[in-house]
Amino acid sequence: MFTKTSGVLATLLLLIAQLRADDMLPRLRRQGSATQLLIHGQPFLIRGGELGNSSGEPDYLRPFWPKLQALHLNTVVAPVYWDSIEPAEGKFDFATIDGLLTDARAHDMHLVLLWFGLWKNSMSSYAPAWVKRDFQRFPRCQDSAGNPLEIISPLSTEALHADAQAFRALLQHLRTVDQKDSTVVLVQIENEIGMIPEARDHSPEAEKRFHEDVPGDLIAYLVKNTDTLAPELRDSWVARGKKTVGTWNEVFGEGPATDEIFTAWHFSRYVEQVAAQGKAEYPLPMYVNAALIRPGHKPGQYPSGGPLPHLLDIWRAGAPDIDLLAPDIYFTNFVEWARKFTRNGNPLFIPEAMRSTDACVNGLYAVAGENAFGFSPFGIESIVDPAARFLGESYDLLAQLTPLILENQGRGTMAGLLPEGLEQRQPQQVALGGYTVNVAFEKSAPIELADGIPPAAAGTPPAVPPPGGLVIATGPDEFLLAGTAIVATFQLRTPGGPQVGLLSVEEGHFVDGKWTHLRWLNGDQTHQGRHVRLEPGRFTILRVKLYQYR
């Protein structure tokens, strides 16, 4: 009796310990309208940088770590190459992963790993040689003329099995060597999946599937989520009478848009099974990334069927184990694309972005304006000045502000500030608490005549970061502004009320989370009390107290 009871107790204790350990694994958690990444149970903001495609081998990367540290990164987004970890079927070699883990830990960094498995930017270029060569066992997609593409078919059960087994082995290895440290905090499955130059596969197997009925799982999702479907998908389904039975063309209408839905479904089903195999070993948060659409491009002209906003529901229905869809933003309308990827509560992480001079302000905007849990310019080891200097300065600022940003994400008390396009009205009006903050962006550092330098003699002005930043309502009449080249004024939201004046404007920084005073701003620096200004040319933090008068 005693033995039986203690046996049950021991099992229970083991179970509790296991649950606790799982709770300490990196995971995502909702806070208001935001989703945050927790590491060891604590919220974390990724100041990332993605390595160039061929920079993920430890020996090559080693000299770059000091540069990555100087940029104030806390996370490196690094590729894992299927062909290098499984050179022969079933024989795994994790030396590159172990090297990355050792070096990342030695430099106090986390890792996001990119599984360059069956597809990398549509193509199957990272599949091991034993996969590439065996096109009978691992069939390729075909175009409508019957030509094979170097894209292995998502309908290939052999490919799925091989890819998923390799991914599972990787996750099993990570659990063994990294669970205690949580160096790896997030995993991307494949890379920029998509069909191109046509919106779907035309191989005999794909043709057969395309003329079958839309799978019941997808229809059930459409029925259950009708009210929240992405408008493009809902419209095409509703226009055909919300059919619950029928072929793809019958349910969604004939054309490239439907071809793309078909493609997205099969890619998502494939990825779901890879994710599920990996999570069964080690349940890290997992995502897929998307190549975005150039203006005016139609399905087939961009990698089609990838995890794009208009296909969010297809991906959610097909791949419930995928935690988020992530945008690779290489376009200048950054805000527009970032926002599209927050549709329907999709958590925002930007694994790739231009490493241009805009990166320094785009990152600040993303975490404050769109509640992103991370931002990561691409080819980070190759970033050069002035973009590198600007990014380092803004990541330093972000590191100081992280606790405050995390506290305010998803709560409606914070806004990102970024000029977007010539069409945008200036000043931008941001409603926060009882106030409207009027925000104007400065183009470049004005040459200070007051300093006695006539414009002609001043020569070429030094490169300065583009304007951008964030504002947080830290109290009923208090704000924190951070960033560069911004001028702000304040007014009460209720019209006809008292006027608003500046009580104090303080410049400072956070040291170990504690505010440290540098100077009071007044006189010329606040235009004699008329406005608050984040000077162009550098990144600063200001604490502003307001008062009201009649």
**Three-state secondary structure call for residue 543:** strand
Of 352 and 535, the one with the shorter C-beta distance to ligand DGJ is 352
Interface with ligand DGJ (CB under 6 A), residue from 65, 252, 262, 378: 378
Shortest approach of ligand DGJ to residue 416 CB, angstroms? 24
Q: Where are the strands (E) in 410-498, listed by range?
A: 414-417, 428-432, 435-441, 468-475, 478-484, 486-492
Of 78 and 366, the one with the shorter C-beta distance to ligand DGJ is 78
The 113-142 site mask, x for binding ligand DGJ (CB under 6 A), equals: --------x---------------------
Of 352 and 381, the one with the shorter C-beta distance to ligand DGJ is 352
Q: Are strands 414-417 and 468-475 parallel, antiparallel or unpaired?
A: antiparallel
Is residue 53 at the binding interface for ligand DGJ, with CB under 6 A as the rule?
A: yes
463, 485 contact by CB (below 8 A): no
Shortest approach of ligand DGJ to residue 77 CB, angstroms? 10
Residue carrying structure tokens 């495609």: 53
Is residue 188 at the binding interface for ligand DGJ, with CB under 6 A as the rule?
A: no
Is residue 352 at the binding interface for ligand DGJ, with CB under 6 A as the rule?
A: yes
Shortest approach of ligand DGJ to residue 453 CB, angstroms? 41
Of 124 and 436, the one with the shorter C-beta distance to ligand DGJ is 124
Q: How far apart (Å, rounded) are the C-alpha atoms in residues 544 and 525?
A: 13
Of 201 and 352, the one with the shorter C-beta distance to ligand DGJ is 352
Shortest approach of ligand DGJ to residue 183 CB, angstroms? 22
Q: Count residues binding ligand DGJ (CB under 6 A).
A: 7
Shortest approach of ligand DGJ to residue 325 CB, angstroms? 14
Shortest approach of ligand DGJ to residue 196 CB, angstroms? 13
Closest residue to ligand DGJ: CB criterion: 192
Shortest approach of ligand DGJ to residue 368 CB, angstroms? 25
Q: Is 537 left (phi over 0), alpha (psi -120 to 50) or beta?
A: left
Q: For residue 307, which of 287, 283, 330, 290 has the smallest C-alpha distance?
A: 290
Of 237 and 341, the one with the shorter C-beta distance to ligand DGJ is 341
Of 39 and 193, the one with the shorter C-beta distance to ligand DGJ is 193
Interface with ligand DGJ (CB under 6 A), residue from 328, 358, 393, 442: 328
Of 36 and 191, the one with the shorter C-beta distance to ligand DGJ is 191
**Residue 152: exposure state from Cβ atoms within 10 A (0-12, 13-18, ≥19):** buried
Of 178 and 190, the one with the shorter C-beta distance to ligand DGJ is 190
67, 73 contact by CB (below 8 A): no
Residues 379-398 that bind ligand DGJ (CB under 6 A): none
Residue carrying structure tokens 């996370």: 75
Q: For the CA atoms of the chain, what is the radius of gyration?
A: 26
Name residues whose C-beta falls within 8 Å of residue 511's C-beta, 6 or more positions apart in sequence: 400
Of 126 and 435, the one with the shorter C-beta distance to ligand DGJ is 126
Q: Is 410 left (phi over 0), alpha (psi -120 to 50) or beta?
A: left
Partnered with residue 511 across adjacent β-strands are 514
Q: How far apart (Å, rounded) are the C-alpha atoms in residues 215 and 305?
A: 17
Residues 219-248 that bind ligand DGJ (CB under 6 A): none
Shortest approach of ligand DGJ to residue 48 CB, angstroms? 14
Q: For residue 407, which of 474, 315, 456, 320 has the smallest C-alpha distance?
A: 474
Of 56 and 392, the one with the shorter C-beta distance to ligand DGJ is 56
Is residue 376 at the binding interface for ligand DGJ, with CB under 6 A as the rule?
A: no
Distances (CA, A) of 7 to 14, 25, 216, 342: 11, 27, 45, 48
Shortest approach of ligand DGJ to residue 118 CB, angstroms? 15
Shortest approach of ligand DGJ to residue 352 CB, angstroms? 6
Q: How far apart (Å, rounded) are the C-alpha atoms in residues 543 and 478?
A: 7
Of 378 and 490, the one with the shorter C-beta distance to ligand DGJ is 378
Q: How far apart (Å, rounded) are the C-alpha atoms in residues 131 and 211?
A: 29
Interface with ligand DGJ (CB under 6 A), residue from 163, 192, 198, 381: 192
Shortest approach of ligand DGJ to residue 537 CB, angstroms? 30
Q: How far apart (Å, rounded) are the C-alpha atoms in residues 482 and 460?
A: 27
Return the structure tokens found at 422.
Answer: 């010539």
What string of H, E and C letters represents the secondary structure of 42-94?
A: EEECEEEEECCCCCCCHHHHHHHHHHHHHCCCCEEEEEEEHHHHCCECCECCC
How wide is the angle at C-alpha 187 spanned by C-alphas 302 and 98, nearest 5°? Answer: 125
Interface with ligand DGJ (CB under 6 A), residue from 84, 153, 191, 402: 191
Partnered with residue 39 across adjacent β-strands are 42
Shortest approach of ligand DGJ to residue 50 CB, angstroms? 8
| Residues forming the site for ligand DGJ (CB under 6 A) | 53, 121, 191-192, 328, 352, 378
